[in-house]
């Protein structure tokens, strides 16, 4: 859950603990967490775990689609594609979400608090990287997201999970050697 939630962050959903548990390690009681925007196209469908409907809703063109709405749609697509294991599409959506989040940080007066969208985009991309075996990239994303996020603990929990997972620890150790 988010800590220190303010009125400005009500647009952000509570953390969606995607069933990464079954994706990452069926033997683990832990899971990696991703975040979506619940009050936006695809968000309610993600909460209902109807990821195909989330993809359809988030890819449907909207009138007056501004950069903030594009960020939100890309974030929701990143989550839905990652969970459904459409990894190429997930990579594209996650990269787009991160690019748009960086741009949003430069624009004054957005609905999304500074750095929070970027922290969430990095965390989501980190989950994708972990699922595809890029443990070092995932750890780097989680660390950067943790530094940026003031109101959300998922990046540190994801990093803790990653570092406690034998498969990921082994992959990170091999990369250092």
13: DSSP letter: P
Alpha helices in the chain (DSSP H): 20-24, 43-47, 51-59, 67-83, 87-106, 116-131, 135-148, 154-164, 166-176
Domain spanning 8-176: which superfamily?
Tetratricopeptide repeat domain (1.25.40.10)
Q: How confident is the model at residue 88, as a pLDDT?
A: 97
pLDDT above 80: residue 132: yes
- Please state whether 110 falls in left (phi above 0), alpha (psi between -120 and 50) or beta: beta
Residue 173: pLDDT band with limits 50, 70, 90: low
Q: Apex CA 110: angle with CA 104 and CA 115, to 5°?
A: 50
pLDDT of 18-68, one tens digit each?
323 233 333 344 588 998 888 888 888 998 899 999 999 998 866 556 778
Are 120 and 75 in contact by the 8 Å Cβ rule? The answer is yes
Averaged pLDDT score across all residues of the chain: 78
Distance CA 110, CA 112 (A): 5
Q: What percent of the chain has pLDDT over 70?
A: 75
pTM of the model: 0.79
pLDDT of 77-100, one tens digit each?
999 999 999 999 999 999 999 999
pLDDT above 80: residue 141: yes
Give the mean model confidence (pLDDT) for residues 132-149: 93
Are 126 and 155 in contact by the 8 Å Cβ rule? The answer is yes
CB-based contacts of 10, cutoff 8 Å, min separation 6: none
- Kindly list the domain boundaries of the chain, sorted by start residue: 8-176
């Amino acid at each position: 859950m988010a800590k220190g939630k303010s009125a400005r962050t009500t647009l952000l959903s509570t953390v969606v603990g995607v069933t990464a548990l079954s994706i990452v390690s069926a033997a683990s009681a832990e899971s990696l967490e991703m975040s979506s925007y619940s009050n936006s196209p695809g968000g309610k469908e993600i909460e209902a775990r109807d990821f195909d409907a989330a993809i359809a809703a988030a890819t449907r063109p909207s009138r007056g689609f501004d950069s903030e709405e594009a960020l939100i749609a890309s974030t929701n697509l990143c989550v839905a594609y990652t969970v459904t294991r459409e990894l190429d599409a997930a990579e594209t959506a996650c990269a787009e979400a991160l690019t748009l989040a960086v741009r949003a940080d430069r624009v004054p007066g957005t609905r999304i608090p500074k750095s929070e969208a970027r922290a969430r985009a990095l965390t989501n991309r980190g989950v994708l990287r972990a699922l595809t075996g890029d443990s070092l990239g995932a750890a780097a994303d989680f660390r950067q997201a943790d530094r940026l996020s003031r109101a959300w603990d998922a990046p540190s929990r994801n990093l803790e999970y990653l570092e406690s997972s034998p498969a990921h620890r082994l992959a990170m150790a091999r990369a250092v050697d």
